[in-house]
Amino acid sequence: NQTAKITVLPGDYIGPEIMNAGLAVLKAVSEGTFDYQIDEQPFGGAGIDQTGDPLPQRTLASAKASDAVLLAAIGGPKWDNAPKRPEKGLLQIRQELNLFANIRPTAISRAMQKYSPIKQLAPVDFVIVRELTSGIYFGRPREIDAHHAIDTMRYTTNEIRRVAQVAFEMAEKRHHHVTLVDKANVLATSNLWRKVVAEVAADYPTVAYDTSYVDATAMKIISAPEQFDVILTENMFGDILSDESAEITGSLGTIPSMSRGTSGPALYEPIHGSAPDIAGKGIANPLSMINSVAMMLRHSFNRPDLADIIAGSVDAVIETGSVTPDLGGQATTDQVTAAIINHIHERRNAYVENDV
Ligand code: NAD
Ligand code: IPM
Ligand code: MN
């Protein structure tokens, strides 16, 4: 087996804290069974500090030459007035790697149920497929002067079709239901989405397809999240709804994501940011990063066995109540991570014993 090449981007504020946790878990679960090599590179504010650019040339080159990219989080007050902000580097790497589909799961496992702020009647397990390289984030013109400003929400049929196909393919392997979320009562782009996605839906006869306005969807995610399987939506709506969805699991600090194109490396990152308000205190929730590592092993390296060991270990630790303050606990980042690694060792030993 070839050595997997992973580009690691710790980023800013809590970024390096949770990346350490993610890499420690990767090491523990991989020992003797998964061969990988890490290339750590500056990115975001750290990229600005080291090279003047949030996405340094060598960082981009490393990412392009990798089999997968692991990112923690970037940005923060230190660089909010930089000529080129860290966030710009993030948008740029997504575009350079053509990562047009951003997959953000919301699942409330049995172990997590007691942390959810909402009363659940039914199990929640849905995923947001967010378009990531177009829409109002990238559309031109984009201008600002003393008296006016313009952003442009623009989509082409091709941009809509390819991400819609990702959503329907996922639904075929899940619960056979896609909901397109839009603002078709107002926006022209939403009307184009409706037209193109209806055409794509016709190619997936086993998948039920419906639509929902974004404002009503924001309500339904709180009142009846169990009705969703795959939510397909444009870039900005997906950004907003995914933070909201994350919070119904108990904390934004638990949710991983995968961003992918049609070929080339995928990128895995927590959906949250660099949490400057809690950086340096050792209390950042490492689960979003650890879950991102599991997602990478499952989807980029075809190691569902290792991903399952991580997921089982995470659940076991959550069950004990050893969680960080964002989930109402008192554990530190390092304590949660060490407990997960202990479980991984137990599970891996059990594995090896079964094998002989
Ligand atoms: P944020 O997601 O960083 O934080 C929002 C809230 O959630 C904060 O109270 C924070 O403490 C909490 N939180 C987030 N992750 C947590 C974790 N792992 N454990 C415990 N608590 C956690 O959003 P923000 O404060 O609005 O943004 C901070 C910076 O991050 C900004 O510069 C923003 O642009 C950037 N950002 C980056 C990314 C990314 O790197 N992909 C994503 C979102 C925001
Ligand atoms: C995210 C973030 C980014 C986005 C920002 C930091 C550019 O909020 O990954 O969700 O809006 O996509
Ligand atoms: Mn966001």
Do the strands 4-11 and 68-73 form a parallel or antiparallel pair, or are they unpaired?
parallel
Residue with tokens 């819609």: 164
Verify whether ligand 1 is closer than 6 Å to residue 277 (CB atom).
Answer: yes
Between vectors from CA 112 to CA 108 and to CA 115, what angle results, nearest 5°?
110
Write down the pTM of the prediction: 0.97
162 in a structural domain? yes
Q: Are residues 115 and 249 in the same domain?
A: yes
Residue nearest to ligand 2 atom 4, measured at CA:
239
pLDDT number for residue 120: 72
Residue nearest to ligand 1 atom 6, measured at CA:
275
Q: Are residues 217 and 198 in the same domain?
A: yes
106 in a structural domain? yes
Q: Are residues 116 and 246 in the same domain?
A: yes
Q: How many domains does the chain have?
A: 2
pLDDT number for residue 350: 79
d(C-alpha 69, C-alpha 269), whole Å: 9
**Final residue of a structural domain among 217, 232, 254:** 254
Q: Are residues 105 and 93 in the same domain?
A: no
Contacts of residue 142, defined as CB under 8 A and 6 or more positions apart, other chains included, come to 150, 151, 152
113 in a structural domain? yes
Verify whether ligand 2 is closer than 6 Å to residue 131 (CB atom).
Answer: no
pLDDT number for residue 287: 98
State the CATH number of the domain containing residue 275.
3.40.718.10
Residue nearest to ligand 2 atom 3, measured at CA:
87
Q: Are residues 129 and 215 in the same domain?
A: yes
237 in a structural domain? yes
Verify whether ligand 2 is closer than 6 Å to residue 128 (CB atom).
Answer: no
* Residue 137 appears among annotated catalytic residues: yes
Q: Find residue 71's DSSP bridge partners.
A: 9
Ligand 3 geometric centre to CA of 179 (Å): 20
pLDDT tens string 143-155: 999 999 999 999 9
Ligand 1 geometric centre to CA of 270 (Å): 9
Ligand 1 geometric centre to CA of 48 (Å): 19
Q: Are residues 247 and 300 in the same domain?
A: no
Verify whether ligand 2 is closer than 6 Å to residue 201 (CB atom).
Answer: no
Ligand 2 geometric centre to CA of 197 (Å): 24
Q: Is the peptide bond before 141 cis (omega within 30 degrees of 0)?
A: yes
231 in a structural domain? yes
Verify whether ligand 1 is closer than 6 Å to residue 273 (CB atom).
Answer: yes
Task: Out of 182, 229, 239, 326, pick the active-site residue.
Answer: 239
Q: Are residues 93 and 106 in the same domain?
A: no
110 in a structural domain? yes
Q: Are residues 180 and 325 in the same domain?
A: no
pLDDT number for residue 194: 98
* Residue 49 appears among annotated catalytic residues: no
Ligand 2 geometric centre to CA of 354 (Å): 44
Verify whether ligand 1 is closer than 6 Å to residue 279 (CB atom).
Answer: no
Nearest to 238 by CA among 352, 61, 99, 350: 99
**Final residue of a structural domain among 227, 254, 281:** 254
Q: Are residues 241 and 108 in the same domain?
A: yes
Q: Are residues 227 and 268 in the same domain?
A: no
Task: Out of 12, 13, 67, 137, pick the active-site residue.
Answer: 137
Please report the sign of the dihedral spanned by the C-alpha atoms of residue 271, residue 173, residue 132, residue 197: negative
259 in a structural domain? no
* Residue 308 appears among annotated catalytic residues: no
**Final residue of a structural domain among 233, 254, 275:** 254
Q: Are residues 242 and 329 in the same domain?
A: no
* Residue 215 appears among annotated catalytic residues: yes
Ligand 1 geometric centre to CA of 216 (Å): 25
Give the C-alpha distances (Å, rounded to integers) separating 170 from 79, 173, 174, 219, 250. 37, 5, 6, 24, 25
Residue nearest to ligand 2 atom 6, measured at CA:
87
Full domain range(s) for residue 87: 1-97+264-356
Verify whether ligand 2 is closer than 6 Å to residue 90 (CB atom).
Answer: yes
pLDDT number for residue 282: 98
Task: Out of 125, 243, 308, 334, pick the active-site residue.
Answer: 243
* Residue 229 appears among annotated catalytic residues: no
Task: Out of 5, 183, 308, 315, pick the active-site residue.
Answer: 183
152 in a structural domain? yes
Q: What parts of the chain have a pLDDT lower than 70?
A: 1, 121, 351-356
Q: Are residues 243 and 126 in the same domain?
A: yes
